[in-house]
Protein backbone atom coordinates (compact mmCIF):
# COMPACT_ATOMS: atom_id res chain seq x y z
CA UNK A 1 0.00 0.00 0.00
CA UNK A 2 1.54 3.27 -1.12
CA UNK A 3 1.50 6.49 0.83
CA UNK A 4 0.76 9.65 -1.13
CA UNK A 5 1.10 13.20 0.07
CA UNK A 6 -0.74 16.12 -1.43
CA UNK A 7 0.90 19.51 -0.89
CA UNK A 8 -0.77 22.69 -2.02
CA UNK A 9 0.64 26.20 -1.95
CA UNK A 10 0.08 28.47 1.05
CA UNK A 11 -0.32 32.19 0.73
CA UNK A 12 1.64 34.91 2.55
CA UNK A 13 -0.49 37.94 3.45
CA UNK A 14 1.59 41.09 3.95
CA UNK A 15 0.32 43.58 6.51
CA UNK A 16 1.38 47.17 6.01
CA UNK A 17 0.35 48.43 9.47
CA UNK A 18 2.85 48.44 12.29
CA UNK A 19 1.70 46.28 15.16
CA UNK A 20 3.55 45.80 18.41
CA UNK A 21 2.64 45.16 22.02
CA UNK A 22 3.48 46.51 25.46
CA UNK A 23 2.09 46.16 28.97
CA UNK A 24 2.43 49.69 30.27
CA UNK A 25 2.74 53.21 28.87
CA UNK A 26 3.77 56.21 30.98
CA UNK A 27 2.78 59.73 29.95
CA UNK A 28 4.43 63.09 30.54
CA UNK A 29 1.65 64.11 32.96
CA UNK A 30 2.43 61.15 35.21
CA UNK A 31 -0.42 58.88 34.12
CA UNK A 32 0.39 55.18 33.72
CA UNK A 33 -1.95 53.15 31.55
CA UNK A 34 -2.00 49.35 31.39
CA UNK A 35 -2.76 47.70 28.06
CA UNK A 36 -1.09 47.03 24.75
CA UNK A 37 -0.08 48.95 21.67
CA UNK A 38 -2.37 48.43 18.64
CA UNK A 39 -0.90 50.83 16.10
CA UNK A 40 1.82 53.43 15.66
CA UNK A 41 1.60 56.37 13.24
CA UNK A 42 3.98 59.23 12.66
CA UNK A 43 2.17 61.39 15.24
CA UNK A 44 0.15 59.09 17.53
CA UNK A 45 0.10 55.77 19.34
CA UNK A 46 -3.16 53.83 19.34
CA UNK A 47 -3.21 52.15 22.76
CA UNK A 48 -5.70 49.45 23.79
CA UNK A 49 -6.12 50.36 27.45
CA UNK A 50 -7.38 47.65 29.76
CA UNK A 51 -9.89 50.00 31.39
CA UNK A 52 -10.67 52.60 28.70
CA UNK A 53 -10.49 50.76 25.38
CA UNK A 54 -8.67 52.23 22.36
CA UNK A 55 -6.90 55.55 23.05
CA UNK A 56 -5.13 57.82 20.57
CA UNK A 57 -2.12 59.33 22.36
CA UNK A 58 0.14 62.01 20.84
CA UNK A 59 3.73 60.83 20.60
CA UNK A 60 5.06 63.98 22.31
CA UNK A 61 3.00 63.06 25.40
CA UNK A 62 4.63 59.62 25.82
CA UNK A 63 7.42 59.25 28.40
CA UNK A 64 8.13 55.51 28.42
CA UNK A 65 6.81 52.21 27.06
CA UNK A 66 7.38 49.29 29.46
CA UNK A 67 9.87 51.45 31.35
CA UNK A 68 11.99 52.19 28.27
CA UNK A 69 12.30 55.87 27.24
CA UNK A 70 10.07 56.37 24.25
CA UNK A 71 12.77 57.64 21.90
CA UNK A 72 14.71 54.42 22.56
CA UNK A 73 11.79 52.03 22.61
CA UNK A 74 11.88 49.32 20.01
CA UNK A 75 8.52 50.22 18.50
CA UNK A 76 10.14 51.55 15.38
CA UNK A 77 8.90 54.94 14.21
CA UNK A 78 11.38 54.59 11.34
CA UNK A 79 9.72 51.32 10.39
CA UNK A 80 6.37 53.10 10.21
CA UNK A 81 7.80 55.69 7.82
CA UNK A 82 9.43 53.03 5.63
CA UNK A 83 6.22 50.99 5.60
CA UNK A 84 4.27 54.03 4.48
CA UNK A 85 6.79 54.52 1.67
CA UNK A 86 6.38 50.85 0.71
CA UNK A 87 2.60 51.16 0.84
CA UNK A 88 2.73 54.24 -1.39
CA UNK A 89 4.94 52.34 -3.84
CA UNK A 90 2.54 49.40 -3.96
CA UNK A 91 -0.42 51.71 -4.44
CA UNK A 92 1.46 53.42 -7.25
CA UNK A 93 1.88 50.05 -8.99
CA UNK A 94 -1.44 48.34 -8.20
CA UNK A 95 -3.58 51.49 -8.19
CA UNK A 96 -6.72 51.81 -6.11
CA UNK A 97 -7.99 48.23 -6.36
CA UNK A 98 -6.34 44.86 -5.85
CA UNK A 99 -8.49 41.72 -5.68
CA UNK A 100 -7.97 38.03 -6.27
CA UNK A 101 -8.96 34.49 -5.49
CA UNK A 102 -7.33 31.08 -5.23
CA UNK A 103 -8.97 27.68 -5.59
CA UNK A 104 -7.35 24.39 -4.55
CA UNK A 105 -8.77 20.96 -5.31
CA UNK A 106 -7.56 17.36 -5.18
CA UNK A 107 -8.38 13.68 -5.21
CA UNK A 108 -6.17 10.95 -3.75
CA UNK A 109 -6.98 7.25 -3.59
CA UNK A 110 -5.00 4.07 -2.95
CA UNK A 111 -5.57 0.34 -2.87
CA UNK A 112 -7.42 -1.04 -5.90
CA UNK A 113 -7.50 2.41 -7.51
CA UNK A 114 -4.17 4.25 -7.32
CA UNK A 115 -4.90 7.85 -8.25
CA UNK A 116 -3.42 11.25 -7.44
CA UNK A 117 -5.07 14.38 -8.79
CA UNK A 118 -4.61 17.93 -7.58
CA UNK A 119 -4.70 21.45 -8.92
CA UNK A 120 -4.67 25.12 -8.09
CA UNK A 121 -6.15 28.16 -9.87
CA UNK A 122 -5.26 31.74 -8.99
CA UNK A 123 -6.60 34.98 -10.43
CA UNK A 124 -5.70 38.55 -9.50
CA UNK A 125 -6.75 41.92 -10.90
CA UNK A 126 -6.04 45.56 -10.18
CA UNK A 127 -6.88 48.99 -11.57
CA UNK A 128 -4.38 51.71 -12.32
CA UNK A 129 -6.02 54.84 -13.72
CA UNK A 130 -7.66 53.74 -17.00
CA UNK A 131 -5.81 50.40 -17.09
CA UNK A 132 -7.15 47.14 -15.71
CA UNK A 133 -4.62 44.32 -15.20
CA UNK A 134 -5.72 40.68 -14.96
CA UNK A 135 -3.38 37.75 -14.28
CA UNK A 136 -4.19 34.06 -13.97
CA UNK A 137 -2.29 30.88 -13.16
CA UNK A 138 -3.72 27.38 -13.41
CA UNK A 139 -1.88 24.14 -12.68
CA UNK A 140 -3.18 20.58 -12.56
CA UNK A 141 -1.44 17.22 -12.16
CA UNK A 142 -2.99 13.77 -12.68
CA UNK A 143 -1.39 10.36 -12.21
CA UNK A 144 -2.70 6.79 -11.98
CA UNK A 145 -0.76 3.82 -10.64
CA UNK A 146 2.91 3.92 -11.58
CA UNK A 147 2.33 6.05 -14.68
CA UNK A 148 3.98 9.44 -15.02
CA UNK A 149 1.83 12.38 -14.03
CA UNK A 150 0.07 14.30 -16.80
CA UNK A 151 0.33 18.04 -16.34
CA UNK A 152 -1.82 20.92 -17.53
CA UNK A 153 -0.90 24.52 -16.84
CA UNK A 154 -1.48 28.03 -18.16
CA UNK A 155 -0.12 31.44 -17.19
CA UNK A 156 -1.73 34.56 -18.65
CA UNK A 157 -1.79 38.32 -18.27
CA UNK A 158 -3.99 40.94 -19.91
CA UNK A 159 -4.12 44.74 -19.87
CA UNK A 160 -7.44 46.47 -20.60
CA UNK A 161 -7.41 50.15 -21.53
CA UNK A 162 -10.76 51.86 -20.91
CA UNK A 163 -10.64 54.47 -23.66
CA UNK A 164 -14.30 55.51 -23.56
CA UNK A 165 -16.80 54.91 -20.75
CA UNK A 166 -17.30 51.12 -20.60
CA UNK A 167 -15.40 50.35 -23.81
CA UNK A 168 -11.92 48.87 -23.50
CA UNK A 169 -9.05 47.65 -25.67
CA UNK A 170 -7.65 44.39 -24.29
CA UNK A 171 -4.23 42.90 -25.03
CA UNK A 172 -3.48 39.45 -23.63
CA UNK A 173 -0.70 36.88 -23.72
CA UNK A 174 -0.54 33.34 -22.35
CA UNK A 175 1.76 30.31 -22.22
CA UNK A 176 1.02 26.75 -21.16
CA UNK A 177 0.84 23.02 -21.90
CA UNK A 178 -1.72 20.22 -21.80
CA UNK A 179 -0.47 16.61 -21.73
CA UNK A 180 -4.02 15.26 -21.81
CA UNK A 181 -4.60 16.81 -25.24
CA UNK A 182 -1.09 16.05 -26.49
CA UNK A 183 0.08 19.70 -26.40
CA UNK A 184 3.72 19.93 -25.34
CA UNK A 185 3.59 23.74 -25.13
CA UNK A 186 1.68 26.68 -26.56
CA UNK A 187 1.54 30.43 -26.49
CA UNK A 188 -1.09 32.97 -27.54
CA UNK A 189 -1.11 36.71 -28.23
CA UNK A 190 -4.41 38.50 -28.67
CA UNK A 191 -5.91 41.95 -29.14
CA UNK A 192 -9.62 42.57 -28.59
CA UNK A 193 -12.22 45.31 -28.29
CA UNK A 194 -14.65 44.79 -25.43
CA UNK A 195 -17.42 46.34 -23.39
CA UNK A 196 -17.88 46.17 -19.61
CA UNK A 197 -21.68 46.28 -19.57
CA UNK A 198 -21.85 46.47 -15.79
CA UNK A 199 -19.71 45.70 -12.74
CA UNK A 200 -20.68 45.93 -9.08
CA UNK A 201 -20.70 43.91 -5.86
CA UNK A 202 -23.84 42.19 -7.17
CA UNK A 203 -22.29 40.95 -10.42
CA UNK A 204 -20.68 41.84 -13.73
CA UNK A 205 -20.91 41.22 -17.47
CA UNK A 206 -18.31 41.83 -20.16
CA UNK A 207 -17.79 40.67 -23.74
CA UNK A 208 -14.95 41.12 -26.19
CA UNK A 209 -14.01 40.16 -29.74
CA UNK A 210 -10.85 40.41 -31.81
CA UNK A 211 -7.86 38.47 -33.11
CA UNK A 212 -5.74 35.84 -31.31
CA UNK A 213 -2.53 34.29 -32.63
CA UNK A 214 -2.02 30.69 -31.44
CA UNK A 215 1.18 28.63 -31.69
CA UNK A 216 1.06 24.99 -30.54
CA UNK A 217 3.74 22.30 -30.42
CA UNK A 218 2.47 18.76 -29.91
CA UNK A 219 3.98 15.75 -28.18
CA UNK A 220 4.21 13.91 -31.52
CA UNK A 221 6.51 16.63 -32.91
CA UNK A 222 3.95 18.41 -35.13
CA UNK A 223 3.11 22.11 -34.90
CA UNK A 224 0.13 24.33 -35.60
CA UNK A 225 0.36 28.13 -35.96
CA UNK A 226 -2.77 30.08 -36.83
CA UNK A 227 -4.54 33.41 -36.59
CA UNK A 228 -8.05 33.13 -35.16
CA UNK A 229 -11.14 35.22 -34.66
CA UNK A 230 -12.09 35.33 -30.98
CA UNK A 231 -15.31 35.94 -29.09
CA UNK A 232 -15.40 35.74 -25.30
CA UNK A 233 -17.66 36.75 -22.44
CA UNK A 234 -17.52 36.77 -18.64
CA UNK A 235 -20.54 36.87 -16.32
CA UNK A 236 -20.93 36.81 -12.53
CA UNK A 237 -24.05 37.13 -10.36
CA UNK A 238 -24.50 37.21 -6.59
CA UNK A 239 -27.45 35.04 -5.55
CA UNK A 240 -29.21 35.23 -2.16
CA UNK A 241 -26.61 37.85 -1.12
CA UNK A 242 -23.87 35.24 -0.60
CA UNK A 243 -23.78 32.55 -3.35
CA UNK A 244 -21.80 33.60 -6.43
CA UNK A 245 -22.55 32.19 -9.88
CA UNK A 246 -19.89 32.60 -12.60
CA UNK A 247 -19.78 31.76 -16.29
CA UNK A 248 -17.15 32.40 -18.96
CA UNK A 249 -16.49 31.14 -22.47
CA UNK A 250 -14.20 31.70 -25.46
CA UNK A 251 -14.72 30.72 -29.10
CA UNK A 252 -11.70 30.60 -31.45
CA UNK A 253 -12.10 30.09 -35.21
CA UNK A 254 -9.07 29.92 -37.54
CA UNK A 255 -9.24 32.57 -40.29
CA UNK A 256 -7.70 30.34 -43.00
CA UNK A 257 -9.66 27.22 -42.00
CA UNK A 258 -13.06 27.82 -40.42
CA UNK A 259 -13.33 24.11 -39.60
CA UNK A 260 -10.39 24.50 -37.20
CA UNK A 261 -12.22 25.86 -34.15
CA UNK A 262 -12.18 25.55 -30.38
CA UNK A 263 -14.79 26.38 -27.76
CA UNK A 264 -14.10 26.44 -24.01
CA UNK A 265 -16.65 27.19 -21.30
CA UNK A 266 -16.61 27.27 -17.53
CA UNK A 267 -19.48 27.56 -15.06
CA UNK A 268 -18.99 27.62 -11.28
CA UNK A 269 -20.85 28.26 -8.03
CA UNK A 270 -19.21 29.49 -4.82
CA UNK A 271 -20.91 28.63 -1.51
CA UNK A 272 -19.74 30.60 1.56
CA UNK A 273 -18.06 28.82 4.46
CA UNK A 274 -16.47 31.43 6.73
CA UNK A 275 -15.37 34.99 6.02
CA UNK A 276 -13.57 34.91 2.62
CA UNK A 277 -13.53 31.11 2.34
CA UNK A 278 -15.88 29.33 -0.08
CA UNK A 279 -16.67 25.85 -1.37
CA UNK A 280 -16.32 26.01 -5.15
CA UNK A 281 -18.06 23.65 -7.60
CA UNK A 282 -17.06 24.13 -11.24
CA UNK A 283 -17.73 22.44 -14.57
CA UNK A 284 -15.24 22.93 -17.40
CA UNK A 285 -16.06 22.00 -20.99
CA UNK A 286 -13.66 22.08 -23.99
CA UNK A 287 -14.49 21.26 -27.62
CA UNK A 288 -11.79 20.98 -30.33
CA UNK A 289 -13.04 19.84 -33.74
CA UNK A 290 -9.51 19.07 -35.04
CA UNK A 291 -7.62 17.34 -32.21
CA UNK A 292 -4.66 15.02 -32.58
CA UNK A 293 -5.30 11.41 -33.48
CA UNK A 294 -6.49 9.35 -30.48
CA UNK A 295 -7.48 12.55 -28.66
CA UNK A 296 -11.19 13.05 -27.97
CA UNK A 297 -12.87 16.17 -29.34
CA UNK A 298 -14.64 16.93 -26.05
CA UNK A 299 -13.22 17.21 -22.55
CA UNK A 300 -15.43 17.62 -19.47
CA UNK A 301 -14.19 18.19 -15.95
CA UNK A 302 -16.08 18.60 -12.67
CA UNK A 303 -14.08 20.08 -9.79
CA UNK A 304 -14.89 20.47 -6.11
CA UNK A 305 -12.49 22.62 -4.15
CA UNK A 306 -11.94 25.36 -1.61
CA UNK A 307 -11.76 28.98 -2.75
CA UNK A 308 -10.21 31.91 -0.89
CA UNK A 309 -10.99 35.47 -2.05
CA UNK A 310 -9.48 38.80 -1.03
State the Cα–Cα distance between residues 180 and 150, nearest whole angstrom.
7
Fold designation for 97-309: Porin (2.40.160)
Q: Tens of pLDDT along 64-75?
A: 888 777 664 445
Nearest to 203 by CA among 251, 241, 146, 257: 241
What is the CA 55 to chain-centroid distance, rounded? 37
Mean of the pLDDT values across residues 127-140?
Answer: 91
pLDDT of residue 95: 59
CA 223 distance to own-chain centroid: 32
Residue pLDDT, tens place only, 38-65: 777 778 888 888 877 888 888 888 888 8
Q: How do residues 215-253 score in pLDDT, each as one tens digit?
A: 999 999 999 999 999 999 999 999 998 899 999 999 999
CB 20 within 8 A of CB 27: no
The mean pLDDT value for 83-99 works out to: 61
Start and end residues for every CATH 2.40.160.40 domain found in the chain? 97-309
The verdict on pTM exceeding 0.75 is: no
Using the CB atoms, write b or e for 231-264: b if 16+ within 10 Å: ebbbbbeeeeeeebebeebbbbbbeeeeebbbbb
Given a cut of 70, whether residue 190 has pLDDT beyond it is: yes
248-301 per-position pLDDT tens digit: 999 999 999 988 999 999 999 999 998 889 999 999 999 999 888 888 999 998
Kindly tell me if the per-residue pLDDT of 144 is higher than 90. no
pLDDT category of residue 93 using cuts at 50, 70 and 90 = low
Q: Kindly report the average pLDDT of the chain as a whole number.
A: 83
Q: Among residues 105, 263, 288, which one has the least CA distance to residue 183?
A: 288
| Range from 105-114, 140-149, 188-197 that averages highest in pLDDT | 188-197
Structure confidence at residue 1 (pLDDT):
38
Name the phi and psi angles at 83, rounded to 5: -70, -35
DSSP string, the chain: ----------PPPPP-S-----SEEEETTS-EEEEEEEEE-SSEEEEEETTTEEEEEEGGGEEEETTEEGGGSTT-HHHHHHHHHHHHHHHHHHTTEEEEEEEEEEEEE-SSS-EEEEEEEEEEEEEETTEEEEEEEEEEEEEETTSPPEEEEEEEEEEEEEEETTEEEEEEEEEEEEGGGTEEEEEEEEEEEEEEEEEETTEEEEEEEEEEEEEEEETTS-EEEEEEEEEEEEEEEEETTTEEEEEEEEEEEESS-TT-EEEEEEEEEEEEEETTEEEEEEEEEEEESS--TT--SEEEEEEEEEEEE-
The candidate with the shortest Cα–Cα distance to 195, out of 170, 216, 174, is 170
pLDDT of residue 52: 79
| pLDDT of 165 higher than 90 | no
What pLDDT does 254 receive?
96
Dihedral angle over CA of 55, 60, 64, 65, nearest 10? 40
Position 8 pLDDT exceeds 80: no
pLDDT of 19 over the 60 cut: no
Judge contact between 24 and 32, C-beta under 8 A: yes
Amino acid sequence: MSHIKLSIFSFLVISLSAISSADEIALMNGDIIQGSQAELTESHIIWNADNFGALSIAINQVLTVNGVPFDKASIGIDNVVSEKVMQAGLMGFFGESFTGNTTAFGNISSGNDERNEWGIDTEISWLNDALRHRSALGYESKSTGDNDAKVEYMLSHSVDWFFRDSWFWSNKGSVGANDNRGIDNFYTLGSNIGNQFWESDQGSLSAETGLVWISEKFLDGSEDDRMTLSWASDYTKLLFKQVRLSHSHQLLVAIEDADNSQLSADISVDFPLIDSLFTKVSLEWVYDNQPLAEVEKIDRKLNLGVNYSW
